[in-house]
């Protein structure tokens, strides 16, 4: 008896296993009898409203350069198989597999909640990172425009923000981004995992193509918006050899800085990613898994703050050195972000009017 892969065109995960907190486990299996029916070949995306009561998420992680973030959506239709946010979907009673990319939650009250949180007397202004867990410019944003409304509040209050995305939809908000950039309130990071369109289609099935992301980077840079590239995740023995070409192409497109994070496989990803490898790259799967373990103390994942973003061991050191040399040769800096100005911040009131004092 074996668990049958849920191969879907345009989807990342090949299984939809029940989350680890559920008491009853559901799985499609092929028992060799005719009673087994093939799963549907097409799955549509649905969304529901998130009933959250706050919008700013805080963190105290020593290896993260910001202490607060906003994620307008839970789940992400881009379907990136490597996404470290996948396991968060199990807290909603869903799977980290197919559910994560097809059953989404939208925080439509986000702009109002943000205004309320910024207006509190206890609030101290520091840059907010937007779209860290799930992409703030995934396809649903085109319809709901939650991210744009959040940016409008931030611009109104002169609040600094970091934006990270792999979507060209960000170009829609250039008018707001330019105004924020002129006040040193904004930097944008574009993620480029590979320049190979076929690999990108398998890794990130519904994300913007790599060439289109480079074009977006160029468009934003020419508009005066500071842009970085995130060469992430670096997957040993899969896209590792592209570090130099990604950095060089991004520098030519206007990126002023770059950073890289090696592949992280927390919780369910330790099953999802190997399954994906067996489905798409069966002849290379064992070699890639071995390479991943070589930078994770012979494990698939290491959650220690000092190592989770960069890995450890000789291969991790080579990846880091190669990346730093690529940035040096391309003439761009190595770093997570630019200095932003938070001295301009003006508290709003919850009703929508700026306070004068």
Mean pLDDT for the chain overall: 91
Residue 275 belongs to a domain: yes
CATH number at residue 253: 3.80.30.30
Q: Say how far apart CA 346 and CA 357 lie, in whole Å.
A: 8
Residue 62 belongs to a domain: yes
Beta bridge partners of 69: 57, 129
* For residues 70-99, average pLDDT: 95
> 10 Å Cβ neighbour count for 35?
6
Upstream peptide bond of 347 is cis (omega within 30 degrees of 0): no
Q: What is the pLDDT of residue 65?
A: 84
* For residues 181-207, average pLDDT: 97
323, 236 in Cβ contact below 8 A? no
- DSSP code string of 309-320: TT--SHHHHHHH
Residue 341 belongs to a domain: no
Is the confidence at residue 353, as pLDDT, over 80?
Answer: no
Is the confidence at residue 235, as pLDDT, over 60?
Answer: yes
Q: How far is CA 349 from CA 269, 276, 307, in A?
A: 42, 48, 42
349, 119 in Cβ contact below 8 A? yes
Residue 33 belongs to a domain: no
* For residues 44-62, average pLDDT: 92
Read off the DSSP letter of residue 102: H
Read off the DSSP letter of residue 252: H
Sheet holding 73-74, edge to edge: 46-49, 103-106, 73-74
Q: What is the pLDDT of residue 260?
A: 96
Specify the pairing of strand 103-106 against strand 161-165: unpaired
Residue-range definition of the domain harbouring residue 259 = 2-24+47-334
> 10 Å Cβ neighbour count for 62?
7
Residue 349 belongs to a domain: no
The answer to whether the Cα torsion of 213, 272, 312, 322 is positive or negative is negative
Whether the model clears a pTM of 0.85, i.e. scores above it, the answer is yes
Residue 356 belongs to a domain: no
325-337: string of b/e by CB count within 10 Å (b at 16+)?
ebbeebebeeebb
pLDDT tens digits for range 203-228? 999 999 999 999 999 999 999 999 99
Q: Say how far apart CA 17 and CA 25 lie, in whole Å.
A: 8
* For residues 307-323, average pLDDT: 95
Is the confidence at residue 178, as pLDDT, over 90?
Answer: yes
141 Cβ contact partners less than 8 Å away, ≥ 6 residues apart: 72, 73, 147, 148, 167, 169
Residue 39 belongs to a domain: no
Q: Say how far apart CA 170 and CA 239 lie, in whole Å.
A: 25
Residue 355 belongs to a domain: no
Domains contained in the chain, number: 1
pLDDT tens digits for range 134-172? 999 999 999 999 999 999 999 999 999 999 999 999 999
């Amino acid at each position: 008896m074996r668990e049958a892969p849920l191969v879907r065109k345009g989807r990342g995960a090949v299984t939809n296993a029940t989350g680890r907190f559920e008491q009853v486990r559901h799985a499609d299996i092929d028992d060799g009898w005719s009673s087994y029916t093939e799963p549907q070949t097409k799955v549509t995306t649905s969304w529901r409203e998130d009933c959250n009561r706050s919008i700013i998420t805080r963190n105290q992680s020593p290896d993260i350069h910001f202490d607060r973030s906003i994620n307008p959506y839970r789940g992400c239709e881009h379907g990136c198989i490597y996404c470290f946010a996948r396991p968060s979907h199990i807290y909603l009673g869903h799977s980290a597999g197919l559910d994560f990319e097809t059953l989404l939650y939208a925080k439509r009250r986000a702009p109002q909640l943000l205004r309320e949180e910024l207006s509190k007397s206890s609030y101290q202004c520091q840059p907010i990172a937007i779209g860290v867990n799930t992409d703030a410019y995934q396809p649903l944003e085109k319809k709901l425009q939650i991210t744009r409304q959040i940016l409008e509040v931030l611009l109104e209050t002169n609040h600094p923000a970091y934006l990270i995305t792999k979507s060209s939809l960000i170009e829609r908000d250039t008018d707001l981004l330019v105004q924020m950039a002129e006040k040193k309130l904004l930097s944008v990071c574009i993620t480029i995992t590979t320049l190979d369109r076929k690999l990108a289609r398998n890794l990130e099935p519904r994300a913007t193509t790599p060439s289109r992301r480079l074009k977006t980077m160029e468009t934003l840079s020419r508009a005066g918006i500071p842009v970085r590239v995130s060469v992430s995740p670096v997957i040993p023995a899969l896209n590792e050899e592209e570090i130099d070409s990604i950095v060089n192409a991004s520098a030519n497109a206007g990126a002023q800085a770059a950073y890289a994070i090696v592949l992280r496989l927390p919780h369910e990803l330790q099953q999802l990613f190997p399954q994906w490898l067996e489905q798409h790259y069966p002849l290379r799967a064992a070699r890639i898994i071995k390479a991943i373990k070589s930078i994770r103390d012979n494990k698939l994942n290491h959650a220690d703050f000092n190592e989770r973003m960069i890995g450890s061991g000789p291969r991790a050191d080579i990846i880091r050195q190669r990346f730093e040399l690529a940035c040096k040769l391309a003439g761009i800096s190595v770093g997570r972000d630019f200095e932003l100005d938070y001295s301009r911040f003006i508290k709003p009131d919850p009703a929508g009017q700026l306070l004068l004092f």
